[in-house]
Structure 1
Amino acid sequence: MCIINFNKRRVMKKIIQASFIILFQSLVLAQPNDLETPVSIINDGLDTQAQMGSVFTLNGTNSYDPNGTIVSYDWSQSPNGTQVEFSSENDSIVTFTVPTESDENLNMPGGDGDVICIIWLTVTDNDGLTDMSQIMIKGVEGEPPLSVINDGSPNVTLQIGTEFTLDGSNSYDSDGTINEYSWSQSQNGDQVVFSSTDETVVTFIVPEESPNDISDSSVTCIIYLTVTDNDGNTDMSQIIVTGLLNDDGQQLDLSDTSNTPDKFKLNQNYPNPFNPVTTLGYDLPENRLVNITIYDMLGNVINQLVNEVQNSGYKSIQWDATDNQGQPVSAGAYLYTIEAGEFRQTKKMILLK
């Protein structure tokens, strides 16, 4: 009898141990496979120039987390760059004054006396995962030009084989003239053949898929426009052209009979650049308290266009380039932000006069 009880206890002990092992393995193996790291993005993700002594805005709100939320922003800088003082180190949008003199640093990129600020943004999501991005801002004398491709929209979708026009004529320089246009492309995208690389307006044919493609299901062309003004200052902008095998992909979106979007989205304003009225479109998959605010590049509130609870749907609002007091604002670049529940997104638009 004692031997039987002893054997039963040994069997039960092994069963319990095996159960704990299985449970532990399932917990350990399940967690990392379900997590994705966030993506840190500063402004439009491109290096740029800024006038020395001016206030420069760093915007991290385009950062995102594929399966969660970003809970913290941490701004820092490389010790090898010209040092700056942030207005804050942990807000999503911060500013700093571009230095007028270079630091005496042997590791400084560029030539002697150059002002080059190397800024880092580290974002952390609700799972504790992080990502860091970098932007370099070169300080220059005078106001640098602003590069604009077509209407300023960052993305466009076309049929493969279509001839697409790239127009840089909306680019401008507030204190001078643009002397040079230079079209180029990322080696990470599908390669195109420009009709010219140094004209204001150029064309190319959306190509068949190439070995350099970054997508398995479509053609992706990443195009850059660099403009240079009469002071030698430059600015670069980017457009991503997605090519589809036929029109079905684009037409499905246009013919969709559903009045409810599947996700929150802030669209690029149209037209852009504009004078004096532009339309801001946004998608609401759910009823939410919506706040749409216009900011200048210093982060000052210019106009609060929307602050109310709205039903789900495809929405739009017009801005007539006035502030909260109804006074016209000056020409230049502005930011517009949407807040709807936990969703927040910011885009840039350009007012011409």
Structure 2
Amino acid sequence: GSGRTRHNDATVVNDDVVVAANPAVFGRAVVTGLLGNQVATVRVTVTDDEGATTIGHTDVWMNAQPVAVASAPRGVFLPTTVFTANAFDSIDIDGSVASYWWSWIVIAVDAAPPGFSCTGRDTAVVTCSGLTERAVVRFTLTVTDNEGGTSSSEASVTVKFPTVVDAGQDQLAIASSAQAGAMRAIHLDGRRTVDSDGNIREWSWSMTLGAPGLVFANGDTATASIVSGYEAADYVITLTVVDALYTTLSSNVNLRVLMLVDAEVVGDG
């Protein structure tokens, strides 16, 4: 006959899949709720004005979007001027990553970077060089899969001068055995430690060589003290810091302790 109607339903792959016919547009329906990498089989029933029907089926597939992962070192320390960012961890679970595209901006700290450049914009690895002053490079990676799906990810690299850790000058401490019950404190000073890009996040003083038993006061600050537990011995004291980029660095100071023995004087009578 001349008149036709069309009805759509689906083999549901989960409770959220809905197939709705659009009566204003012949032969068109909207499938919603289908998750990435899932297939719904849609049954199409066509009925003419004489009541005759025909049933057909078609599969509806939803492309899973790729996952972009931009990876780069958190910090690059001058005078090193070459570094890379990569997309090696980017994936597409139902196909493949077909293309990469990198963009970037440079936020200069000290001066504009006229010599900065990057190569490999359309590859999995972008290589950059030319920064000679402190700066932050912010990358945006966009990946496209074989079905045209896209995803983006960001990563930042801070270019800075390296943190300098200084545990202070080597020390010689002289104590008396008569002070055993009240030892004088031996002071440690790491305030010459410098992070050019911000404050030190963590401080930690510890003994790495010597007789056990040292007791530290304020051992999580720049200026600590050994308040007890030492004896006549050579020690190596280590200052460990975590800088603004969460880089862990350390410096040693040598400590020699000499103990005076107090002689008891006995009279003749």
TM-score range, shorter chain: 0.3 to 0.5
Which is strand-richer, 1 or 2? 2
Which is helix-richer, 1 or 2? 1
> TM-score w.r.t. structure 1 length?
0.31
Larger-Rg structure: 2
